[in-house]
Amino acid sequence: MSTQQKQRSTSEVLDFLHEWDRSGDLARSRMLSTFLKQNSGKSCELEKEFAQVSSLFLARLSTWMRLTYMCGTFLGLQLKAIHVFLSASCSHQYLTEFLEDGCVLTLLDVLGQNGVKEEDKAEALRLLETISDAGYKYKEIICECHGVRAVVECLAKSHAEETQEMAQALLESLTHGNPKYQSQIYRGLITIMSCTSTKAQQLALRTLRIMQSKMKTVDHTIVEPLLNVLRSLRVEVQYEAINLILDLRRFELRPVLLSGLVALLKPNRDGAQRHQILEDPDVTKMMASLPVFVQQAAAAKALHLLAQSSEDIGQELLSLQVVHHLLCAMANRDHAESQTEASLALKYFVDTNPAVKEGVLKGMGSALFGVFMQNSDAVHKNIDEIQAEILLSNKVNISEGLDDKSRKNSHCKVISEQAN
């Protein structure tokens, strides 16, 4: 560029900045719209476009955003324009200037403002992700500003899927190459499992799976909320939760997780369940969709998959009286899915262990056992009130038939699997 061209370009930029300084919000919004049309997707051309004074415009833009973001009138436009600077290939200088102005705190505050539109929160999250992707020191700056808590709360409370997905993407970005704050992010994701948003639960579980695949240890506080989330009526939440349970089988908390799952097969509703079976069919119909029964079915499914994944786990489950509990779950005439999942899991144990087959035959009776062996996924259709009572009161104790080798403490096995 010749000297004359540089002078003309500088003059045009200074005129632009002068017009910006004397304009009101509406005029500035028009200027930003023009800027976005002309510069979206550009990299280092920004410096040429603004005659080496692009930082002056970014400073004005950042200041305007900080002063007006609570009103939210032009926030989305402001954030998109700032993203042009921070996503440029020569963005290091812009990032430094943006952070020095304290704008990370502003972006995080945007996430907690009730008056800000969801699409603007999504744009703020996209901008934070761009900052996070720039390197570990930028991730740490976001976390030092209590960013993990702000993003977790946004994910849990938002009702817009775009915002939730952007929050999840940012949390995932913050986990990469950021060991200092890894446990804080992990614990934050665990808390989301207890929120009321099923989309947030799904995304949190997915991110936990990604994190756990790179970790050598596990936070034991995950067990209770993970088991509780099995009550979700959403298939996608169940899918992520069960797969996370499968991922956790190689860690030292496996015994606690297995015993928790087995306990879910016999929810503490025995008295109420018997009363419904014998007396009130209308209440039976109402109870069919209770989350506790959905949780029971999910537990049976998870136990089936765990047993299939490892012979050692199968033996551990037998020592936890899983056969007795599965027979009880099959008696739940209020929830066909619980009966089906329990039956399929039980069939696996019957097919792989002669002692189990003998015990189940005694617990069921020969007539029902014959149907069970022929069609285990539909045997619930043949369970009447009397047979349900028999299953509920079964005294099957397969662990008495296990040899000493099968009774060994599973802790050594878990440690061995972790080492591999």
Q: Which two tokens stand for residue 232?
A: 């979700």
Q: Say how far apart CA 343 and CA 385 lie, in whole Å.
A: 17
Tell me the three state secondary structure of residue 136: helix
Q: Report which of residues 94 and 413 the model is more confident about.
A: 94
How sure is the predictor about 116, in pLDDT bands with cuts at 50, 70 and 90? Answer: very high
186-197: b (≥16 Cβ within 10 Å) or e: bebbbebbebeb
User: How confident is the model over 255-273, as pLDDT tens digits?
Assistant: 999 999 999 999 875 444 4
Average pLDDT for 334-347: 95
Q: Which two tokens stand for residue 56?
A: 């002056």
pLDDT at residue 40 in the model = 76
How sure is the predictor about 54, in pLDDT bands with cuts at 50, 70 and 90? Answer: confident
Classify residue 409 as exposed, middle or buried by CB count within 10 Å of its CB (0-12, 13-18, 19+): exposed
How sure is the predictor about 274, in pLDDT bands with cuts at 50, 70 and 90? Answer: very low
Average pLDDT for 150-161: 96
Closest CA to 121 of 111, 108, 112: 111
Element (H, E) at 3: helix 3-22
Q: Is the pLDDT of residue 333 over 50?
A: yes
Q: Do the beta carbons of residue 294 and residue 232 sit within 8 Å?
A: yes
Average pLDDT for 157-183: 96
How sure is the predictor about 403, in pLDDT bands with cuts at 50, 70 and 90? Answer: low
Q: How many CB atoms lie within 10 A of CB 261?
A: 26
User: How confident is the model over 32-51, as pLDDT tens digits?
Assistant: 999 898 887 665 567 666 65
